[in-house]
Amino acid sequence: MADLIDSAMDDTATDCEHAEPAPRCAIELVPVTSDNLDKVRRINTVLFPVRYSDRFYTNLLTVGEFAQLAVVDGRCVGVVGCQPEASVADQALADQVYIMTLGVLAPYRRLGIGRHLLRHVLAHAEALNRAASDPGRRLRRVYLHVQVSNDEALHFYQAHGFVIASEVPNYYNRIEPTSAYLLVRSLLPENGSPPVTPA
């Protein structure tokens, strides 16, 4: 698989903004590993106006199913990277998941790839909750920040059960507008039953 990603990424890295759109086809998710981490870096450089640190990428190697590359027709075309974390600084156990990045190269958007990546994250979080014998070890929510001007991303996440919890002024340093919405999707409704993932 690493060789396949290497050959696919060579094309994607140079032509990703000008590639012909792919037809609807099978989407394969590949865990982020040290063998494909450079591909994640290259996709993130194209997708996001933020430069991520080496620590960010090293951390992706520790989160298991919460970091995935999307491969379509042998090309790396999307990525998601999440971080389980504690909502309270001195709390030992993670009780929430932060979506740090989720994106798909422009020629491959509107093919369901972003939805596939997000559903994988939600399904994994819900599977961890089902496996937790102690209710106190369950993940309460998934959350992320979205720039207030990014209507497309906002609608995408709202369609998957996320709601705007607040607006965070001056969240971004080097991009305009600087404000972000904090979007949250609960994993543990008040009645204790697992939520239904939107279709």
Write down the domain spans for the chain.
2-186
pLDDT over 60 (residue 4): no
Task: Mean pLDDT check: name the lowest of 8-12, 186-190, 192-196.
Answer: 8-12
CATH number of the structural domain 2-186: 3.40.630.30
- Average pLDDT value over all residues in the chain: 85
State the pairing for strand pair 180-186/163-168: antiparallel
pLDDT in tens, 96-113: 999 999 999 999 999 999
In the residue annotation, 143 being an active-site residue is answered as no
Whole-model pTM above 0.85?
no
| CB neighbour list of residue 153: distance below 8 Å, 6 or more residues apart | 146, 147
Choose the catalytic residue: 18, 52, 57, 98.
98
Whether 145 is catalytic is yes
For residues 27-40, give the mean pLDDT: 97
pLDDT at residue 1 tops 70: no
Instruction: Tell how strand 163-168 and strand 141-147 pair up.
Output: unpaired
- Sheet of 141-147: strand order equals 27-31, 67-72, 75-85, 96-104, 141-147, 180-186, 163-168
Taking the C-alpha atoms of residue 79 and residue 31, their distance in angstroms, rounded to an integer, is 10
Given 52, 145, 171, 172, the catalytic residue: 145
Tell me how many degrees the CA angle 42-48-50 measures, rounded to the nearest 5: 100
